[in-house]
């Protein structure tokens, strides 16, 4: 019997400013809410809405989880293997 694997996830990395924002998240509920949003994004990096902007940098996307009150701004690498989180709002 062949082992069944789930969908391949993108690796999540944080910009310096997003890493700084992580330090401000202190409650278990906020950590759980952010973790849930990051899992959703890593499984389907295209789930967020594109943010209009210039064509000089990576295309920023915005994912908002209304249930958990989380907003994440991120970009995705060309091969969709890495999601770089730019901004976190919990």
Domain ranges of the chain: 11-89
Q: How many residues does the chain have?
A: 90
pLDDT band at 41 (very low <50, low <70, confident <90, very high): very high
Which CATH code, of 2.60.120.260, 3.30.2310.20, 3.60.70.12, 3.40.50.300, is assigned to 11-89?
A: 3.30.2310.20
**φ/ψ of residue 58, rounded to 5:** -70, 150
Q: Give the tens place of pLDDT for each residue, 53-89.
A: 766 767 899 999 988 889 999 999 888 889 999 989 8
At 7 the pLDDT is 67
Tokens of 84: 């770089």
Tokens of 52: 């209009």
Question: Distance (Å, rounded) from C-alpha 17 to C-alpha 22?
Answer: 9
7 DSSP 8-state letter = P
Is there a contact between 41 and 48 (Cβ–Cβ < 8 Å)?
yes
Rounded to 5°, the CA angle 22-27-28 comes to 100
């Amino acid at each position: 019997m062949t082992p069944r694997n789930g969908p391949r996830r993108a690796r999540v990395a944080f910009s310096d400013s997003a890493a700084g924002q992580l330090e401000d998240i202190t409650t278990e509920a906020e950590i759980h809410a952010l973790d849930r949003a990051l899992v959703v994004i890593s499984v389907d990096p295209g789930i967020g809405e594109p943010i209009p902007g210039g064509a000089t940098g990576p295309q920023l996307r915005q994912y908002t989880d209304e249930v958990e009150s989380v907003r994440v701004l991120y970009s995705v690498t060309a091969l969709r293997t890495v999601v770089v989180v730019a901004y976190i709002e919990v």
